[in-house]
Structure formats: C-alpha cells, structure tokens
Amino acid sequence: MALLEVNNIHTYYGNIHALKGVSLKVEEGEIVCLIGGNGAGKTTTLRTISGALRPREGNIVFMGEDLAKYKPHQIVQKGIAMVPEGRRIFARMTVMENLEMGAYIRKDKQKVAEDLEWVFELLPRLKERRRQVGGTLSGGEQQMLATARALMARPRLLLMDEPSMGLAPVLVEAIFDTIVKINKEGTTILLVEQNALMALSVANRGYVLETGNIVMEDTGEALKKNPRVQKAYLGME
C-alpha cells in the first residue's frame, strides 16, 4: 500500500474547475515531483492534500485512511507537513519560535529537543541565527527556516511547494541537496517545482500536470529524457 494515494480528485475555486481528476501515488521513502506550467494546478493539488481545500469528488488516502473526515490541523497530526510557497515564515517571531511553532502538535518534549538538534545539524545556518527575528533573514535562510519548521512536525510526508522560488542558482542547489538529505534520513517528499530540471534530477518519480490533469507519469530520469517534457519544461528544442 502506498503512503499517499490521491484518487481522481476534482477541486474547485468557486465555479472554476481547477483539478479535473488528479490521481497520484507516493510510496514510502520516495521523492515524487509534480511539474507543470503556471496555473496547471500544482499548488492546488498540494493544498487539497493538506486539507486547505476540499475536493468535490475523489478521495485522498493517507496510510490507509481517508483524509476527508479530518480538518486541516488534524491532517498535520496524521503526519503530513507543508513547506508553503513563498516560504511564509512567521516574520515577527524568532527562528527558535518559528521552529517551536513547527513542533506545535507534538507533546514529547524530549524528542522535540532531539529533533531541534537534528534540524540544526541539517541546516547549521539556522543555529547561528536562532535568536534572530525571521523577517530579517535572507531569502535562502527563510527557505531553510520554512523547511526546518515543517520538519519539526516530524512528518511522514513532507509537501514542498516551490522551494527554489526566488533563489539564486547556488542556493537552489543547496536547497535540493537538503531535500535529498532529508529524504535519505527517512522522510517521504512530494515536491512541486517550476525548476523541472532540478526537481526531476532528485526525484524517483514524477508527474506532469497540465490544466488540472495528469498528462504523464514516469521515473524522474525517464521524464527528463522525454522529448515532450524537454520541449515544454526544460527549454530544450
């Protein structure tokens, strides 16, 4: 059984039919990426999984359980954490406070302290800045903080929405290195990216989303070599 199964979901914004039957699967331990152009429905898919939006049709099954009956904050408790698009850290709270908020749902203080050390090891820059107010961090550091904050929930599945957005190429690489590291340490990742090349390079499998439909599904490597993908998303002729 897959960790996450999205079965034929239809999501609407009012009358706008944003997702027209999206189905995908994420197996335990994988990095799965979702690529597609602007307005294809990538973020909508993630938001539907995290419970911020409700599908009108179809269902989402996580660890064998239908998520329809849970509220967004309960879905976090089930083990799905999100790194939102555009980072959206708590700008007026310190790095430490941001991380503490990430561990909000957890009661085991001992483990939380251990995880804090783990996160600091993973992203040492944050340790240096832990007393600083989030809003004063640089763009790259804010992305690290947003990622670390989601990790503090100790999720089974980490949803990442455009982690490379607005970052310089050097930092994009650093972020993707971190993603691979997080995955190696045992967190399953569903990644949404505009930067298709990087995303497909790290992903085990990928889905291509176009106007609310999944149009392709393959391993990351295979998609990278697919001529249609190369033309539309990798800018190759």
Partner 1 sequence: MQNKYTDWKQALRSGLLGGVIVVVLSLIGIVAAFINTYVIHDVISLGELLILGPVMALSLTAIRKATNKQPGFLLLTAAISGLASGLVILALAGLGQVINLRAMFLNASPDLYAIYAYQQAPIPGLLLRLLVCVIVSLLTAGFTLLPARIKTALGQGLLYIVVIGLMGRLITMMLSNWGFVAILFQWMFAANSLSLIGAIVLFLLTAGLAYWRYGRPKVKRITDPKKQKVVRWGTLAGLGVILIFLPNILGLWFSEILDNVGLFILMGLGLNIVVGFAGLLDLGYVAFYAIGAYTIGVLTSPELGFFNWTFWQAFPVALLMAFISGLLLGLPILKMRGDYLAIVTLGFGEIIRILVLSDWLKPWLGGTQGIQRIQRPVIGIEGVWTRTLTSQQDLYYLILAGIIVVAFVAIRLRDSRLGRTWMALREDEDVAVAMGINHVATKLTAFAMGALFSGIGGTLFAAKIGSIYPSSFQFLVSINILSLIIVGGMGSIPGVFVGALALIGLPELLREFAEYRYLFYGAALVAMMLTKPEGLWPEARHRLELHEEATPPPEAEAEPATENA
**CA dist 126 → 120, 136, 164 (Å):** 6, 12, 18
Residue 209: how many other CB atoms lie within 10 Å: 22
x/- binding map, residues 184-223, to partner 1, per CB under 8 A? -----------x-xx-------------------------
Please tell me the distance from the alpha carbon of residue 132 to that of residue 128, in angstroms, as a whole number.
9
Per CB under 8 A, does 119 bind partner 1?
A: no
The interface region with partner 1, picked from 27-35, 59-67, 96-104, 207-215 by CB under 8 A, is: 96-104
Smallest distance from the beta carbon of 206 to partner 1, in angstroms? 16
Minimal distance in Å, beta carbon 166 to partner 1? Answer: 6
Please state, as a whole number, how many other Cβ atoms lie within 10 Å of the Cβ of residue 86: 12
CA angle 167, 174, 178 (to 5 degrees): 120
Determine, following the binding rule CB under 8 A, whether residue 124 of this chain makes contact with partner 1: no
**Structure letter (DSSP) for residue 31:** E
6 vs 82, which CB is nearer to partner 1? 82
Q: Does 76 bind partner 1 (CB under 8 A)?
A: yes
Q: Which of 177, 171, 203, 172 is nearest to 190 (CA)?
A: 203
Pairing, β 57-62 against β 157-161 = unpaired
Q: Which is nearer to partner 1, 151 or 214 (CB)?
A: 151
How many chain residues bind partner 1 (CB under 8 A)? Answer: 48
Alpha-carbon gap, residue 235 to 209, rounded angstroms: 17
| Contacting positions for partner 1 (CB under 8 A) | 50, 52, 71-74, 76-77, 81-82, 84, 88, 90-94, 97, 100-102, 104-105, 132-133, 135-140, 149, 153, 164-172, 195, 197-198, 234-236
